[in-house]
Amino acid sequence: MAGEIPVIAIDGPTASGKGTVAGRVAERLGWNLLDSGSIYRMVALSAFKRGVEVSDEAALVPLAAGLDARFEQGAILLDGEDVSVAVRREETGNAASRLAAHPRVREALLERQRAFLQAPGLVADGRDMGSVVFPHAPLKIFLTASVEARADRRYKQLIAKGLPANIDSLLHDLRERDARDTHRAVAPLRPCEDAVLLDTTRMSIDEAVRFVLDLAHDRGVA
């Protein structure tokens, strides 16, 4: 039964390192990975492409429902086109954060996300993984780090991809995105009651990965 397949839900604010940690935990366990943020980001790219405003919920719903999104061998494909780099751009993330505030857009993406739940297990990365998409996940982690540490990580990530980055505007954007994600009415950014908080400000990625794996092991989840 699908309900018996274990899920580790990892959430946290923007640029907290949750994507990297989730990816490595999935790799170490040999489990599937749901990078839900990329799905929201692809809806944003699809909206850009079709000239749909991120404020236009009615137009976004069919676009989200019919999204031709595929994850293949590390590449992210939208309408068959490799968008692995475009999807990481800050403007894409900002637009994703705006359109993710529409309840009907979130609903249109629900089943697509739940379909990732396949044996032997799933590591699910994103805002509402533990609260809405997989509320029965036996392990929920809320990863945080100071806004300065997150801006620094995002800066390095963008530069490494050859994308433009400026530390001051990143700090400003992160603060704005935190506020928007925290205060929105649907799926706001906040730890679930049963989530384990992990502050990674002074932690390396490897240490954070080890923490999650140890916890999963201690709890008999993996």
Of these, 10, 33, 41, 144, which contacts ligand CDP (CB under 6 A)?
A: 41
Region from 1-9, 67-75, 92-100, 192-200 binding ligand CDP, contact rule CB under 6 A: 92-100
As given in the structure block, the two tokens for residue 86 are: 């475009």
By CB under 6 A, name the one of 6, 23, 93, 121 that touches ligand CDP: 93
CA distance 101 to 98: 6
Residue 128 near ligand CDP by CB under 6 A: yes
Question: Among 105, 41, 90, 49, which Cα is nearest to 69's?
Answer: 41
Residue closer to ligand CDP (CB basis): 70 or 217: 70
Residue 58 CA: distances (Å) to CA of 38, 49, 62, 97, 180? 21, 17, 8, 17, 21
The residue among 106 and 203 lying less far from ligand CDP, judged by its C-beta, is 106
Max distance between CA atoms of the chain, in angstroms, equals: 49
Q: Which of 24, 89, 102, 127 is in the footprint of ligand CDP by CB under 6 A?
A: 127
Number of Cβ atoms within 10 Å of the Cβ of 214:
10
Task: Show the beta-strand stretches assigned E in the chain.
Answer: 7-11, 32-35, 69-72, 75-78, 81-82, 122-125, 139-144, 196-199
Instruction: Work out how close the CB of 31 gets to ligand CDP at its nearest, in angstroms, rounded to a whole number.
Output: 18
Residue tagged 């806004």 (tokens): 147
Is residue 173 a contact residue for ligand CDP (CB under 6 A)?
no
Q: How many residues bind ligand CDP (CB under 6 A)?
A: 16
The reply to whether 46 sits near ligand CDP by the rule CB under 6 A is: no
Shortest Cβ 41–ligand CDP spacing (Å): 5
Q: Does 100 bind ligand CDP (CB under 6 A)?
A: yes
Residues that bind ligand CDP (CB under 6 A): 14-15, 36-37, 40-41, 93, 96-97, 100, 126-128, 177, 181, 187
